[in-house]
Structures are given as C-alpha cells and as structure tokens.
Amino acid sequence: MTPAAPPGTGAFASAGRGPKLFFTGGRRGTVISTVSTVVVVAIFASLFVFAPGARTVAHAFFYPKDMWQAFIGDPRKGYYSVGAAIWLNIRMFLVAEALILPLALLIALIRLSTHPALFPIRVLATVYVDFFRGVPLILVILALGLGVPGLYLPVISFQRDIVYGVAALVLGYSAYVSEVYRAGINSVHQSQVAAARSLGLPQRTALRYVILPQAVRNIIPPLLNDFISLQKDTALISILGVIEANQAANIYAGLVFNYSSFTVAAILFLVLTIPLARFTDRLIDKDRQRRLAGGVL
C-alpha cells in the first residue's frame, strides 16, 4: 500500500496559504524563480530590442514627449487630454455598474420563478439573456446610438450619445451578470431553503435573509471579473463619438501621426483594472481557504 504524501510536498503542496503550483523550496526556490524570471524577461526584451523595426516601433508607441502631450492634452491644438478623459470612463463604469446589479438580479429572479402566471415574463427574460449574450456589444452600442435617435420618440430619442452608450453596456452586461446571480442562487443548498421554511419564514423573507446573502458571497469573485471587463468595454462607446480615453488617444494619433497616446490610454486602463483583478484574486483565495477550513473535520 502506497503511503500518503506528507503535507507540504508535491507539485500542488500546501504551504501556509493554500496549494502552490510548484514547491517553493525555501531560499533555493527563491533563487531559481528569480533567475527564471530574469531569463524570461530578457528573452522577451531581446526579441523587441533586436528586431529590425524596434526603433521605429519604439518611436511610434513609446515616445516620451508624445506620451506626455497626449496625457495632458492641448485643446488649442485640437486634441484632448487622455488623462482627463479616463475620468469619463470611470463615471460611465460606475453608473453602468449601479444599474446592472439590480436589473440583473431582477432578471435572475424572474428566470428562477415557478409561478404559472409569470411564464410569459420568464420566456421574455430568457429571450433577453440569449439575445444580449449572443450579439456583440459593439453592435448593441451602434443599434442604440444610431437607431434610437432616428425613431424621434419624445425624450428617448434626444439624449446624449453617452446615455445610449451606457444603456448598451447595461443591457449587454445585465444578461451576463443575471446568469452569475442565477448560478449563485442555485448553488445555495436546498437544506438552507428547507431550514428557512421550517422556521416559518415566507418565501420572500427566506430569499432576502437566507438565500441571497449566501448567494452573493459566492458570486462576488465572478461579479468582479465581469466588472473588470465592463471597465475596459467603456472604451467601445467611443464609436459614437464620445470623447473618452480611447477616443482622445485616437484623436491625438490622427493629428500628430504618433501612436504613443494609445500606450498612455492602455497604461491608464491597466492602472484601473489591475488592482481590481488582484483584489478579485484575494477574494477567491480567501473564499477557498474558508471552504477548505469548513471541510476539515
């Protein structure tokens, strides 16, 4: 009979804060990882530095003067500040997120309902999710931004382009987030529902105080991943002419024939998304640790 592997050994050994992909090996492992990192970075750097067109690409995308000019902008010369325009992306993201969360929850609850009278609404909710998950978001933005104004409806057809862009983001992402909600609610064990009903809690009260709190705790990491994508996709609204970071970078590049402004926009988006991505990883790790601790007898 093969003896069980001792804790802390093997490719997926546990070392303090959960399983590691490779055994760290203490100081020796630190040296090896450092050397391997340096080698990999050096290989990629050499591919860029020694490429025949490296100097041309560096001037086109990483020219410090153009990067700074694109960041601060100069309306007198006809281009906008990419650094200032990123705040519009942030505002669009925050507004869209505030609308997506309740709308997606409502759609998920409708799809999970079993009341016969809600059957046609459940069908509409299913069609809604299938449609907006299947159609590319950029087509939704174009349809709303170019089609709705042409209808000449009172109030609705006379909004700013940014309103149609945010509405498209809300419609598209609500379909995705509603499925995250639905999966989270379905992940709550039926024993929790039975326990709540045995205490005499009405279905609505049980949903509010028992099911949803557990479901939300389970879906926070995938929700944050969706919102990372949402932050990036705010740049798609530029196709309607909204001067956000991507459009400001595009205007600068078209005027001075240098693409360093796109590098500035990319860096700003990374500054926004990387901390949220690391926060998501931390939540996933904490949730895994909690589940592992709960599974120990």
pLDDT average, residue stretch 235-260: 94
Over 90: is that where the pLDDT of 193 sits?
no
pLDDT digits over 99-144, tens only?
A: 999 999 999 999 988 888 889 999 999 999 999 999 999 999 999 9
Hey, how many other C-beta atoms are within 10 angstroms of the C-beta on 122?
15
- Angle at 36 (CA atoms; ends 35, 37), nearest 5 degrees: 90
Largest CA distance in the chain: 80
Q: Please give, one letter per residue, the 3-state secondary structure of 61-122.
A: HCCHHHHHHHHHCEHHHCECCHHHHHHHHHHHHHHHHHHHHHHHHHHHHHHHCCCHHHHHHH
Structure tokens at 95: 């507004």
Q: What's the number of CA atoms in the CB half-sphere (13 Å) around residue 196?
A: 18
pLDDT of residue 66: 95
pLDDT digits over 170-183, tens only?
A: 999 999 999 999 98
Are 222 and 257 a contacting pair, CB within 8 Å? no
Q: Which long-range contacts (CB under 8 A, 24 or more apart) does 196-201 make?
A: none
pLDDT band at 24 (very low <50, low <70, confident <90, very high): low
pLDDT of residue 224: 87
Reported pTM: 0.80
Residues sharing a CB contact under 8 Å with residue 246, sequence separation 6 or more, in sequence order: 235, 238, 265
The residue with greater pLDDT, 210 or 131, is 131
Domain ranges, ordered by start, for the chain: 66-188+215-295
Hey, how many other C-beta atoms are within 10 angstroms of the C-beta on 166?
23
With b for 16 or more beta-carbon neighbours within 10 A and e for fewer, the 173-199 pattern comes to bbbbbbbbbbebbeebeeeebeebeee
Domain 66-188+215-295 homologous superfamily, CATH: MetI-like (1.10.3720.10)
pLDDT average, residue stretch 242-251: 94
